[in-house]
Amino acid sequence: MTELGPAIDERALEEAVRFTSELIRIDTTNRGGGDGREREAAEYAAERLAEAGAEPVILEKAPGRSNVVARIAGTDPSADALLVHGHLDVVPAEADDWSVDPFSGAIRDGIVWGRGALDMKGMDAMVLAAVRSWARAGVRPRRDVVVAFTADEEASAEYGAGFLAERHGALFEGCTEGISESGGFTFHGGDGLRIYPVGAGERGTAWLRLTARGTAGHGSKAHPHNAVVILAEAIARIGRHRWPVRPVPTVRAALTELAAVYGVDVDLDAEEFDADDLLAKLGPAAQLVESTLRNSANPTVFEAGYKVNVVPGHAAAQVDGRMLPGWEDEFVATMDELTGPEVDWEFQHRTVPLGAPVDSPTFAAMRSAIERFDPEARVVPYCMSGGTDAKQFSRLGIVGYGFSPLRLPAEFGYGKLAHGVDERVPADGLRFGVRVLDDFLRAA
Ligand SMILES: [Zn+2]
């Protein structure tokens, strides 16, 4: 085991909590379509880094859409660099629905309240607190650690990680792996089981636009070529399609480890293997894998017609598709087949699926950092059903993991609160998180 030096100090624990609250108070709502402003939060982060002797740069593709990047030199110059990234923007919050002002950052009874508490200003604060503690203690991580705080993750990443990957790749030189949101938090698996899912893959986004062309005309006449009917049939085929189970390596590892956690004997390669049967035996943890066993395509928008006695000449629809790594060709072929010859379809928005190795030293270091601070933790890899900035950084060859460590009590539903009403995080969860993060970053 690597010698870690002194443990993180009390001040870092206090800063992780206070910085979360202060970052929440800076409203960085991202409404999409270019409507957002991260500059004040970026300046806040840059100042906290500069106070610790780092030399952050602020980068903008458009005024106000600010990103921050800094490199902390490691002790082993031959080691690959590690990227730690967190987004600064948040999704909108409707204040009327909340019990507190969503941008108050109020700390009450040991809980920090506000939009971004979980997604993901808490992690941003922990990163700042850890880096500052190294400066105070005079310690450095083994690998170079490149810290990036990004704009625009909650929309297209065009002003954030997409812009950094495209235009400022040199800042990430030597980075082979990255860590960020959506993993490393406590998932309560029933019977006191504390599972910590660590992200090791993401499905790719496939937002589709479908168009059917038919013969327009009077609603009272015979219309064998009605675009509404043609498209509705295609949409029904897509919505009812049972996609085959395709256990990609990350999901296989998740199923294997979860089966072990729940004491279920399973052979994924057996001919009689039945994924649904296994899910039924995994209790609440089935949620961690059920959306990533297969590709998916959900019809979400249908647009057709304008008057009851007019058959429209065309009809359009949108479908939210998600593709597993390695199964994109199958997705395309299946959509060709399901839409049929009379419906055209195209990608409106397409992003790459990701898969990260779960047998890497980095994964092992994340696992042992969590286990050090929660000896009963069951760390398992999982594949995210959606996507993060890791997709953008993958263009630089950076393998992404979802690791924002956080200890949450049983009544805390991470999934419900991120992007939800009354988003909040326990201060103790952040204190746990910054300890784990510091331990991992220095040892990795
Ligand atoms: Zn997020």
> What CATH number is attached to the domain comprising 310?
3.30.70.360
CA 155 – ligand 1 centroid, Å: 10
Tell me how far apart the alpha carbons of residues 251 and 360 are, in angstroms, rounded to a whole number: 16
CA 195 – ligand 1 centroid, Å: 20
* Domain presence at residue 360: no
CA 35 – ligand 1 centroid, Å: 17
* Domain presence at residue 232: yes
- 24 and 135 assigned to the same domain: yes
Active-site residue flag, 153: yes
CA 149 – ligand 1 centroid, Å: 12
Q: What is the mean pLDDT of residues 190-207?
A: 96
Domain edge (last residue) among 301, 324, 350: 350
Q: What is the mean pLDDT of residues 101-121?
A: 97
* Domain presence at residue 338: yes
Tell me how far apart the alpha carbons of residues 323 and 234 are, in angstroms, rounded to a whole number: 19
Question: Counting runs of H as helices and runs of E as strands, what totals does the chain give?
Answer: 12, 19
CA 183 – ligand 1 centroid, Å: 11
Instruction: Lowest mean pLDDT of 65-69, 271-275, 306-310, 321-325, name the range.
Output: 271-275
CATH code: domain of residue 140: 3.40.630.10
pLDDT at residue number 419 = 86
Length of the chain: 444
pLDDT at 2 over 50: no
Domain count, the chain: 2
- 144 and 222 assigned to the same domain: no
pLDDT at residue number 5 = 58
CA 229 – ligand 1 centroid, Å: 39
- 59 and 106 assigned to the same domain: yes
CA 89 – ligand 1 centroid, Å: 8
Which of 119, 124, 152, 153 does the annotation list as catalytic? Answer: 153
> pTM for the complete prediction?
0.93
Tell me how far apart the alpha carbons of residues 388 and 431 are, in angstroms, rounded to a whole number: 24
CA 154 – ligand 1 centroid, Å: 7
Helix or strand run (H / E) with residue 301: strand 296-304
pLDDT at 150 over 70: yes
pLDDT at residue number 354 = 96
pLDDT at residue number 4 = 54
- 156 and 250 assigned to the same domain: no
3-state secondary structure of 248: coil
- 120 and 223 assigned to the same domain: no
* Domain presence at residue 212: yes
CA 167 – ligand 1 centroid, Å: 22
Q: What is the mean pLDDT of residues 215-231?
A: 93
Model confidence band, residue 389 (pLDDT cutoffs 50, 70, 90): very high
* Domain presence at residue 356: no
3-state secondary structure of 124: helix
Q: Is 440 exposed, middle or buried (0-12, 13-18, 19+ CB in 10 A)?
A: buried
Can you say whether the dihedral through the CA atoms of 307, 312, 314, 317 is positive or negative?
A: positive
User: pLDDT digits over 242-265, tens only?
Assistant: 999 999 999 999 999 999 999 999
- 300 and 239 assigned to the same domain: yes
CA 311 – ligand 1 centroid, Å: 44
List the one residue out of 281, 284, 297, 320 whose CA is nearest residue 415. 284
CA 31 – ligand 1 centroid, Å: 14
133: containing domain? 10-182+388-443
3-state secondary structure of 344: strand
Pull the structure tokens for residue 27.
Answer: 């409203």
pLDDT at 109 over 90: yes
- 213 and 172 assigned to the same domain: no
- 41 and 114 assigned to the same domain: yes
* Domain presence at residue 5: no
Domain edge (last residue) among 321, 350, 379: 350
Model confidence band, residue 110 (pLDDT cutoffs 50, 70, 90): very high
- 117 and 232 assigned to the same domain: no
- 324 and 403 assigned to the same domain: no
- 52 and 169 assigned to the same domain: yes
pLDDT at 320 over 90: yes
User: pLDDT digits over 405-428, tens only?
Assistant: 999 999 887 777 888 999 999 999
pLDDT at residue number 6 = 63
- 342 and 229 assigned to the same domain: yes
Which of 15, 38, 89, 389 does the annotation list as catalytic? Answer: 89
Domain edge (last residue) among 297, 321, 350: 350
Bridge partners for 253 per DSSP: none
Q: In the chain, what percentage of residues exceed pLDDT 70? A: 99
Q: Which residues surround ligand 1, an ion (CB under 5 A)?
A: 119-120, 181
Model confidence band, residue 1 (pLDDT cutoffs 50, 70, 90): very low
